[in-house]
Structure 1
Amino acid sequence: MAAGVIEVDTVEDFNKLLNDAGGNLVVVHFAAPWAPQCQQMTDVIGELAKDNQLSQVRFVQLEAEKLAEISEKNNIIAVPTFIFFKGGKSVDRLDGANATDLTKKVQSLSKGGAVASPPPHPQKQDLNTRLKQLINSAPVMLFMKGNRQEPRCGFSRQMVSILQEKNVSYSTFDILSDEEVRQGLKAFSNWPTYPQLYANGELLGGLDIVKELVETGELESQLPVQIKLEDRLKQLVNKAPVMLFMKGQPDAPRCGFSKTTVAILGETGVKYDTFDILSDNEVRQGLKTFSNWPTYPQLYVNGELIGGLDIIKELKESGELESTLKGDN
């Protein structure tokens, strides 16, 4: 990291930095470690940070995919992208690696120059559609407070204990992380409390119902046949000739990298299926090991990993993307 450039690793640190900056200009570089253009622009903001006339400006860099919540909020669709903040609010942006334009914007905005309107936010996905996708994202889905490693209420802790004791393979969603889902699912399922357990997209019930099923010996019969994670991942990557594992859905991507990938694939006209890795933490973490590829999105053709956004861009630039998607390569 260039001298004078602040690296941010958490949402909390990012929000604190904006608050502490007051009315001073904050220049945030949304970057990715695999993109050489980002390194070039890191060097540029490092030089700007040395300028005594810009001593009140704070230069910040964060990994766009790692802090997807911030990237989504600021409509980041590619790297490098720069967002300019004043008073905690976005006032301008610069897409791409253009050192001259970046320098001009920094100099102008630091002196109180005119600012552009903030970029529009992407359209939100319909809640019921999202709830259906979450419920059906795994054969057994548990909506709980916290996660299986750290349940955040006694009922959730008991439910996790039962499922683990019965060797049930299941995925979870932390309803404390998303108030919209937390409230919406109560109405959608007509079930007012948590945890809620679903099997094959159908609500089984809460802790009391699951306990009754255990006591009567009926729980196993209410659950789908359990398969190992590796077998499930193999099924998923082979679900369609072209499979994209992304954050969100094609009509509502939830990170800039996924949004850019969807746009590129759409230009080819080749049909593809998707899986929202935000809906299933077991798949999200397991696929990284399975494919030996640490980031998302991930593109598969005929069950074989092609790569992430950087590889897809290279294939597009070389004119090989469409033939690769068709399995000609």
Structure 2
Amino acid sequence: MTSKISTISDKDAFDKILTDNASGLVVVHFSAAWAPQCHQVTDVLSELAADLSLASTKFIQVEAETLPELSKKYEITAVPTCVLIKNASVADRVNGADVPSLNKKIRQHSTPVAAAAAVAPPKQDLNARLKALINRSPVMLFMKGAPEQPKCGFSKTIVQILKDQGIKFDSFDILQDEEVRQGLKKFSDWPTYPQLYAKGELLGGLDIVKEMVESGELKLMLPAAESLDDRLKKLTNQDPIMLFMKGNPDSPRCGFSKTTVALLDSIGIPYGHFDILTDEEVRQGLKTYSNWPTYPQLYIKGELVGGLDILKEMNESGELEQMLKDSQ
């Protein structure tokens, strides 16, 4: 398959692509040649770039270390990171090699290219489509923009309320689909946005949500998002021995991680691992959770053992091997 991804090596070329494709979607893959996960993302983007239904979307690749001013502008802290730009603004982003999210978000933000009328499939009934959208997630927010970049004050406020209440939700940008924007008003007999749905039923707009927060009703009705501490506790207990590192054991992405992997492999006891470069929330949260500011970090049965220096000392004394064996 011939790739349709443009490799950009200077800022002027980057700016020209954004200007030339101002009304369409531009997917920018910030990558590094040394990172295996970036090659995986490149392969996925090549397939998407060849999809005729995404013909209006422009795909470009930028070496993050070669153009540091762009990496800084778009807050790139790890590779691969894909930034979705539309109307000169960041519409969305995907950190790490999260292929399902990448595919979903690109299709969500792309402007579909209509197929020829002779081969076009029958158009889905609008009410059926709206019903499917409303039931896409237990909690669905129809808003202007995306949670990361709301396009009106009301949408911004309701997103913040849901986050403050710890409520997990999916969203749909009604500015991207005029048919949904107008149709949903009639479907639910509610003329304004945002609109919040729970289990397929309309709760209301911003004013209703505010009243439900004040009465405590909202939190009782909607499923709460898992707290970061709960998530970190699950991750640190995912395997009896868990290594949080940069990269993975087959391809460490820093010298400290590489040395730690070699040390553990020399002992020969299996261990789980998590690449903190793929999840910024985990990367920053684990520092606070365990009061340990650097990586790698080794956990045994959910308890922090330490970083590389401590592991070296324990290995020299024989304590590390015994502790690892006792964890089995």
TM-score normalised by L of structure 1: 0.40
TM-score normalised by L of structure 2: 0.40
